[in-house]
Every structure is written in structure tokens, then in C-alpha cells.
Structure 1
Amino acid sequence: MLATFLIGLREGLEAALVVGILVAYLTRLDRRDVLPRLWVGVGLAIALALAIGAIFTFGAYALTFEAQELIGGLLSLLAVAMVTWMIFWMQRSARTMKRSLEGGIDRALATGGLWGIVVIGFVSVAREGVETTLLLWAMVQDFGDAPTALLGAVLGILAAVVLGWLLARGMVRLDLRVFFTWTGAFLVVVAAGVLAYAIHDLQEAGALPGPFGPMAPIDPATGAVAVGWAGFPFGWAFDLSAVIPPGSALAALLQATIGFMPVMSWLQVISWAVYVAVVGIFWARGIRRPSPTASSPASVPSQQGAS
């Protein structure tokens, strides 16, 4: 619940800030007449995210186990790619987000294309919605406890909506640069865990060599798949299930926060380590870059001040 709550909070707050900027700017321009079209776009984006989640959830029931694992692994890889892109997109674009959104509104109003407001609302929210759906679906498949994971996500999104409203009204202040920086670091680790589980799914489906396939090294003493260096590269890297039971609260906490599982293959461990090292280095470089003087998402306009 903690991991999905934080994901729902971060992604929901991104969407809430975008909507808050758009609503405040239209209010300042005294164009409240086009606000319903903006809300239509937001509603369509939410519906798209829910529809994608339903298709992934219920469409998998008609598939074989191998097909489910293959699709699950590929969708998890897609989720990792989208999250990685979003982390660096926020680093590059967050400081100019407000100006870009207001520019889009100006162009739509100037050309008379009022349905462009619908498109702006849809695109602005759909990006976070689809990304959140993919990431949460992958994590639910990973954790195996759908009700708790989804409850955490819903609570996070609700908290984001409330926080976004309070920010837009000027009733609370939050250093959004710090918030998105450190939640970005958290998402790097979460995405690494999703990547590791995607490798697990693909190994179970037979798309990648691993402990479940014919290339797995066998321990001659036990007849089981080898563990440790003897299992390199397609066996188990470690098996700590005797110390940390897979179904225990500690195992769930470690899996939700750092992507650790009591039993992991070598390909899982290597992919996790490489992802954290490479993406973490680029993330650290991004936060050390000097900040330009452009507007930041922390300067969300207050509707009270605007009107």
C-alpha cells in the first residue's frame, strides 16, 4: 500500500497541478465559458486510463499461463520505459510547464478552436493516467495483493487531488522541486523492481533463459536449479526464502520499496543493478544542473489571486 500510495500521490499531483494551471489561467482570462470543455478532456483521459486497466485485468483471463506471463512482462517493460521517460521529462520540463500550458491555451483561444481546450485537457492528464495505470498494473501483478495495492493507489490519488486544490487556492505551500526530485529517486528504485519482475515473467514464459528453462544450471548434489555463483548466469542468484519467507510482511515491504524478492535469478539481479546504476547516475546529474530562471511548477497560480 505504501508504494502504490506514493505512486498515486506523485502521478496524481502532476495531473492536479496541470489542471490547476489550466483552470487558473482560463479564470484569469475570464474565459470560464470554456471550462466545461477542459473538464470533458480531463474526464476522457480518466476514462481512457480506467479502460486500459480493465482491458489488462480482465483480458488476461482468457490467455494461457505462458501468454499471461509474456504479456505481463512486456507491459511491465513498457511501464518501466514510460516511468523512466517521465522522470527525465519532469527534470527538463517542470520549470517551464506553466508557460507551455498557458501558451497552448492562448493558441487554442486565438484560433477559435475551442475544442482544442478539450485536447489540451485530455493530453495533459492522459499522459500521467496511462503511465500510472501501466505501473500500478505491473505492481499489482508483482505483489499479488490487488485490493491492498489498489487501495493505496486510490488513497494516493485522492490525497493528490486535495493537495493540488489546496496549492491552487494558496492555502498550503509545498516545495514541489524537492517533492518531485525525491519522489523521482523513489520511482527509479520502484521501476528497477518492476524491471526485475518483468524479467521474471519473461523467464517463466520462456522468452528469456532462466531457472524455468532448459538452460538452467543444475546442482548435481540436489538435482535442483543451482544457486549462487554455480547458477550463473541462468540460475538463481540467491535464495533467502528460509530467512525471509516470500509471503511475510518484510518480504512485501522490501519488494514494494526496493524490488527485492527472497528468490531472484541472476538476470533479475543484473538488470536491477544496471538500471539503478545507469538511470541513477543520469538522475543525479539532472538535479545538479543549474536552475534556469523560467517558471517552475511550484509557482502554481492561485485562483483567488487570479480573480
Structure 2
Amino acid sequence: MMGDVLFIVWRESVEALLVVGILYAWLRRQPDAARGLRWLWLGVGVGIGLACLLGAALMYAAQWFDGNAGDVFQLAMVLVACALIVQMVVWMRRHGRTLKSELEHDMRDSFETANWWGMVSVVALALAREGSETVIFLFGLGLQQRGVDQLVFAGSALAGFGLAFATFHLLQLGGRVLSWRGFFRVSEALLLLLGGSLLVTGVEKLIALDWLPALVDPLWDSSRLLDDGTRVGGIVAALTGYRAHPALMVLLLYALYWLVVRRLLRSATPRPPQQVAST
């Protein structure tokens, strides 16, 4: 669980740092850079504040639910987190190559017309999107932990944030140590595995609520090879959705998840322009 927290905060923080880095570098090249940078940092603060408000709203809402209503709320958050992970990976696959030009275009329009609040909106919305995704992911992973676990949770989040700064520094070296392309490919694979794990958790909750039939439960027992109740097995289960005693319905929906993901990624991957044969 804590490894998942570290990974989510690390991945989302690197993406947020990428957005801020692109806008910061662009503003530094402008004539009125000092003024523009003040509005940039204001936008960063607003974006982080909006994400924190969402987190507070989710925690407040969770306190209103108990019993079956609480189970349904947690189920909804787990499935929303899974859907957001897939949406985020597909969005980055579609817009990753043009992200820099799109952000600079929006900033240029605001800068040339001295629309400083428009600039704040561009930055705040970009940061709020990353921060909101992080909040929902963490909530889906179990943000409601208390006591010592809560301290470990916070420590894992801080470690992920620190690791993000170190990773961003390596990425800024221009691919000599780590390339942006390699980073996004590896991290998107891990994200999709984590999304599958959240889906498995959600399907198991649906079965427990008698909203879905298990069909066959369990379909097999692979605990002798890898028990998901052990330390190592628990890590694999949290990252991939592995179960030593899976129900047939879980496996069917897990397979459907990967079929849908594969189709979405293929449709989102930019195709190279076709060359017209000369006659």
C-alpha cells in the first residue's frame, strides 16, 4: 500500500513539475519576466489550494457515510480512481508530444494581452488537474487510514514528492541519464497495472455487496506459488491485482479491462504522417 502511495505521488508530482517547468522556462524568455513569474507562482498556489479543497471535501463526505452507504462510497472512489488512471494515461499518450506547445500557446495569448488572471487560470487549472487526480488516487488507495498508518502514509507521500524533484532534475539533464520518453513509458505501464489492481478491488466489493455474481469462487488456488497474504505477495497484489484465490467474475472483468486499455492506447497513439509516393 505505501509503495503505491509513493509511486502515485512521485508520478503525479513529476508531471506537475513538468507543467510548471515548461511555463517557467517560457516566462523567463519574456521581456516582463519578473511580473509574469509572480502570476505564475500565484497560479501554482491556487492550483494546489483547489486540490487540497477537493481532498478536504472527500474526507468530509466520507464521514457522512457509514455501513452499506460507506461501502458504496468507497466502491465509487475506487472505480473513479481506476477510470482516472486510464484517462490520464490515454490523455498523456495523445497530448504528450504537443503539451509544451499547447501550454506556451495559452500563456502567449494571456501574456500578449496582459491578461494576468487568464495566465493564473491556465496554471491553476493545469496544477489542479494533477493535484485532484493525486487526491482521488490516494483516497481510492485508502486515505482513511489512522494512527501509525497515517504517519507512514504521510511519510510515503513526502518521500514520493522528494523523489519527484530528484527525478525531474535527472530528466532535465537532456536524456543523458533518463529520458522523458522512457519515464512516461515505464510509469504508464505501472499506472495501468495499479488501475487494474483498483478494478479488482472494486469488483470484489461489488461481489461482496451481491451486486455481481462471483460465478466460480475460487477458480483456483495458487497460494503455494505466491500467497497474496504474505509480504511479497501483498506487494504484487497491490500493484497488479493478483489474487491467489480469484473469482471467475474478477478474472473476466480484469481481462476486459486490459482489452479496453489496449484499444484506447492504440487509438490515442499518434500515427506517423503517410508519405505520398512520387510518380
- TM-score, length-normalised on structure 2? 0.83
Asked if residue 140 in structure 1 is aligned to residue 142 in structure 2, the reply is yes
- Alpha-carbon shift at residue 167 of structure 1 (Å): 4.7
Deviations 1:213-253 (A, max 9, x none): xxxxxxxxxxxxxxxxxx43xx4434556876654212321
> What secondary structure does 2:212 align onto?
coil
Asked if residue 126 in structure 1 is aligned to residue 128 in structure 2, the reply is yes
> What secondary structure does 1:62 align onto?
coil
Residue 181 of structure 2 aligns with which residue?
Answer: 177
Residue 97 of structure 2 aligns with which residue?
Answer: 95
- Deviation larger for 16-25 or 141-150: 141-150
Aligned pairs (5 A) from 1:260-299:
260-280=242-262, 282-283=264-265, 289-290=271-272
- C-alpha distance 181-290 of structure 1, shift in aligned 2 (>3 A): farther
Counterpart of 1:191 (choices 169, 192, 195) is: 195
- Alpha-carbon shift at residue 151 of structure 1 (Å): 3.1
Find the aligned partners of 2:82 and 2:144 in 1 and give their Cα distance.
13
Residue 23 of structure 1 aligns with which residue?
Answer: 24
CA contact (8 A) 1:69 1:202 kept: no
Find the aligned partners of 2:133 and 2:273 in 1 and give their Cα distance.
27
Deviations 1:159-194 (A, max 9, x none): 213433565587975310111012111111110111
- Alpha-carbon shift at residue 43 of structure 1 (Å): 1.6
- Alpha-carbon shift at residue 142 of structure 1 (Å): 10
> What secondary structure does 2:219 align onto?
strand
- C-alpha distance 33-23 of structure 1, shift in aligned 2 (>3 A): same
Extract unaligned runs of 5+ from structure 1. 212-230, 293-307
Find the aligned partners of 2:209 and 2:42 in 1 and give their Cα distance.
41
Residue 203 of structure 1 aligns with which residue?
Answer: 207
Identity over the aligned pairs, expressed in percent?
A: 29
- Alpha-carbon shift at residue 281 of structure 1 (Å): 5.1
Asked if residue 68 in structure 1 is aligned to residue 70 in structure 2, the reply is yes
- Alpha-carbon shift at residue 104 of structure 1 (Å): 0.7
Deviations 1:15-47 (A, max 9, x none): 101100101111111322122222122122222
**AA in 2 matched with 1:16:** L
- Alpha-carbon shift at residue 57 of structure 1 (Å): 3.3
Deviations 1:119-160 (A, max 9, x none): 111111111111111112112269996554553333122221
- TM-score, length-normalised on structure 1? 0.76
Asked if residue 257 in structure 1 is aligned to residue 259 in structure 2, the reply is no
- C-alpha distance 199-147 of structure 1, shift in aligned 2 (>3 A): farther
Find the aligned partners of 1:270 and 1:45 in 2 and give their Cα distance.
39
- Alpha-carbon shift at residue 4 of structure 1 (Å): 2.6
State the superposition RMSD in angstroms: 3.1
- C-alpha distance 61-242 of structure 1, shift in aligned 2 (>3 A): farther
Extract unaligned runs of 5+ from structure 2. 275-279
CA contact (8 A) 2:171 2:179 kept: no
- Deviation larger for 190-199 or 151-160: 151-160
> What secondary structure does 2:178 align onto?
coil
**AA in 1 matched with 2:183:** F
**AA in 2 matched with 1:204:** A
CA contact (8 A) 1:38 1:117 kept: yes
CA contact (8 A) 2:6 2:157 kept: yes
